[in-house]
Amino acid sequence: MKARYHPIAEPLHLANGLQLKNRIVMAPMTHSASHPDGSVSDAEIKYYARRAKGAGMIVTAGATVTLKGGFPGQFAADRDELLPGLKRLARTLKADGAKAVLQLVHAGRKLPPSCSEVISASAVADEKQGASVPREATEAEIVAIIEAFGNAARRAILAGFDGVELHGANGFLLQQFFSPHANRRNDSWGGTLEKRMAFPLAVIETVKRVVKQYAEQPFLIGYRLSPEEPETPGITMADTLQFCDVLAASGLDYLHVSLNDFWSLPRRGVTDERSRITIIERRIGHRLPVIGVGGIHSAEDALLALQSGVPLIALGRELIMEPDWLEKIAEGREEEIRTTIKLGDQEALAIPDSLWKSIWAMPGWFPLEV
């Protein structure tokens, strides 16, 4: 490895005692390759095995916490009979020293109208074209979903994962409760900024309780958030910074900030010319490790991102296009890193059929070379 890239390979010691072998995280990326019953498939194992050698931590695609809370092709952590597949997945991810983190999610109103019942914080549709109006979750349903996150965390512990990440980003249910667009309630679960935090904080507390009860080794609890929403009303940077203060005091092990562009600037809510990730890092980085993501392709990109002060960098599409990203940098071959996907690459990259079809059906998502 060239000396200038050594910061990428530096280990990171986390407050709970775990150590990450380097500063690169594999970001959670949907692949829709699970069996119809939510169990882990051979295609998923092959996909993750191909990418398990480099990163210090791997965060899986989202595992749904309830039977009706996820999409077709998404693996699940909602019942004990799925443990054999989850154990196999954890072993695969950890085989070369990466820490394995199972992302936990409930889709809420992001579910398609074809699903039997779509619930959210309030009966407000997503502004995306064709979105259905969800049903407002009842108190009993909210409590049940909170417990479902805890039960899914218990299964992650039993399966041998090193942690869980609570998916409060990209418009999923945890974000829906925090969002003034999706949450129009006037009870203990909404109405003020503090009350809009209540649901995600209750999930965190439940997962912490489960970890204390079941984990015999240090076990990570991370949270992923999107710092802003384009809708009006919507989450602003001002909202997020207050939320970050509360999250930093909640006993989490890291905060994963979901961005399309690592260097993107705030839309509204603050008067600040710094990037959103820099603002968050300066606000809470001394209390909670922050993961940044978005548009980081090369070793130089990653180095520049680390120099911003953010201690961990997540790669998503980059590790799909180039599973050997870290290995090539370690061997001084960073100029050989793939930056496109070609028609004949599927087998070499171990990309499941479902993800492969999506890549080619969505121009602009990946750089394609015909």
What mean pLDDT is reported for the chain? 97
List, for residues 188-204, the tens digit of each pLDDT value. Answer: 999 999 999 999 999 99
pTM: 0.98
- How far apart are alpha carbons 44 and 158 in whole angstroms? 20
Residue listed under structure tokens 């710092």: 227
pLDDT tens for each residue of 306-320: 999 999 999 999 999
Q: Closest by alpha carbon to 283, among 238, 245, 229?
A: 245
SS3 153: helix
Answer yes or no: is pLDDT of 116 > 80: no
- pLDDT tens digits, 83-105: 999 999 999 999 999 999 999 99
pLDDT (0 to 100) of residue 112: 85
Q: What single letter denotes the amino acid at residue 228? A: E
β-strands 12-13, 19-20 pairing: antiparallel
Label each residue of 191-247 as H, E or C: CCHHHHCHHHHHHHHHHHHHHHHHCCCCCEEEEEECCCCCCCCCCCHHHHHHHHHHH
Q: How confident is the model at residue 11 (pLDDT cuts 50, 70, 90)?
A: very high
Domains of the chain: 3-339 (3.20.20.70)
50-70: average pLDDT: 96
> Peptide bond preceding 233: is omega within 30 degrees of 0, i.e. cis?
yes
Rounded CA gap, 280 and 224, in Å? 13
From residue 130, how far is each of 110, 170, 350, 363 by CA, in Å?
11, 18, 33, 21
